[in-house]
Amino acid sequence: MFFLERFKREKIADGVYFNTIYDDRFKTSRILVSMLTDIDRDRCAANSAVAGLLVHSCKAYPSFLDLSRKLDSLYGTTLSGSSSKRGDSQLVNVSAVGISDAYSLDGESVYEEMAKLLCGALFEPNVSDGAFKEEDFRQEQRQLIDTIDAQFNDKRAYAKKRFLEIMCKDEKYGVNLCGTKEQVSALTSTDVYKAYLELIKTARVEIVCLCANDTENIRNIFRECFANVDRAPAYTDTLIIPRANEVKEHTDRVDVVQSKLMLGFRTDCAEPDENVDAAKLMSAVLGGTAHSKLFNNVREKLSLCYYCVSGYDPNKGVLTVESGVEQENIEKTKAAILNELEQMKQGNITDEELASAKLSMANSYLTSVDSSAGTQGWYLAQVLKGKTLTPQEQAQRINAVTKEQVVVAANRLTLDTVYVLTGSGKEGE
């Protein structure tokens, strides 16, 4: 068996797990600390600020310049913070990546130093009087506002964000994790420190360490750090809306050359439903590959667009289709996409379409673990899901899905939202 015997999972505190993947193929080691908490409209901006502040400075390296210099001396080790969505949960991530010890020029252990630095960033932040250092906080606050503004700059990303806000208006899933500019402006350094304490205390924590070292020492350091925390893990959950009752339509007008069209569907199928694999394959056949129905018909046959792709989020049970088209072709493209879906519902799927989607998915699962970030991400996703499958096992499960199951999955789709971002031209809503 590839991998699994090299994977070890150990509980080191209440709701805190240390996962080790031993792998000597890579020239880097990586450690990720992922803190899982419910998305809270009023708290997610503070949580996002925590992710930034923890890697901005720490007690041992009290300025950004000090910390950056330390990282450089560790052969350009990176320490980064981010915030991401998983279903209705927010993941606050702090991670370190550095070269494996075998490649250091003077024989020192980069791994040990890097692990201690990460631990210090997490447990010894640059804090006094119950707040992050004021100038660090101001810097992070300013950058968060820049990030929110920059979300409008990239129109494909902006369309996705607006689409989600509209489709999932009353769901946690629709919340922008950076918060609003008003929320970020109103934050104080004390608020962010409180959010930090809350995360350390209540978030479920998954530490994923990928390296070619013995991890016992580092595991014990993390264990001791968490032993000083009065843990009270909170339960997280995701609201699944099985089907849409009516279609929401929304158009935003911005001065763009190309219009963006997004369709959102409820799939009536989300983790841990046993039909998730069929839904994944259904999405791949529809628009997940360069052999899919959307690629071959909407792009290649009708020449309507450069991209027309579908994506399925099994953690939320939502499927989206997105495309960039001429304003005058919006309706035509929408009809063409819905027609391809209708074909699938009717069972018009060829053996070739099914086989190529399966091959393509297997290829992407197996290829992902040839990257160190991909391997770490794979195992994080597995432990969060609560069933640790290898990429091969996941590929086998997809391979076992029948055409009938794909057709059933397609028939469970209901159109929820049609979103258009377009120029200020002639066409109305």
Exposure string for 76-97, b = 16+ CB within 10 A, e = fewer: ebebebbbebbbbbbbbbbbbb
Choose one: 31-39, 146-154, 335-343, 407-415; the region binding another protein (CB under 8 A): 146-154
397 is a contact residue toward another protein (CB under 8 A): no
Choose one: 139-147, 207-215, 229-237, 309-317; the region binding another protein (CB under 8 A): 139-147
Nearer CB in complex with another protein: 239/256:
256
The interface mask with another protein, positions 26-55, x = CB under 8 A, is xxx---------------------------
For residue 209, what are the CA distances in angstroms to 7, 19, 29, 110? 10, 6, 8, 14
Binds another protein (CB under 8 A): choice among 8, 9, 116, 155: 155
Phi/psi at 154 (nearest 5 deg)?
Answer: -90, 110
Distance between CA atoms of residues 113 and 135, nearest Å: 27
Binds another protein (CB under 8 A): choice among 197, 367, 402, 404: 367
CB of 44 to another protein, least distance (A): 19
Binds another protein (CB under 8 A): choice among 38, 60, 75, 252: 75
Binds another protein (CB under 8 A): choice among 9, 38, 40, 64: 64
Site for another protein in 165-224 (CB under 8 A): none
Which residue matches tokens 């001429």?
Answer: 326
CB of 79 to another protein, least distance (A): 10
What's the token pair of residue 364?
């992407």
Distance between CA atoms of residues 98 and 264, nearest Å: 40
Burial of residue 51 (CB within 10 Å: 0-12, 13-18, 19+) is buried
What's the token pair of residue 349?
């799927």
277: left (phi over 0), alpha (psi -120 to 50) or beta: alpha
Which residue matches tokens 């809503």?
Answer: 429
Q: Which residues bind another protein (CB under 8 A)?
A: 2, 24-28, 64-65, 68-69, 71-77, 97-99, 102-103, 105, 139, 142-143, 146-147, 149-150, 152-156, 254-258, 289-291, 295, 299-300, 302-307, 324-326, 352, 355-356, 359-360, 362-364, 366-367, 369-372
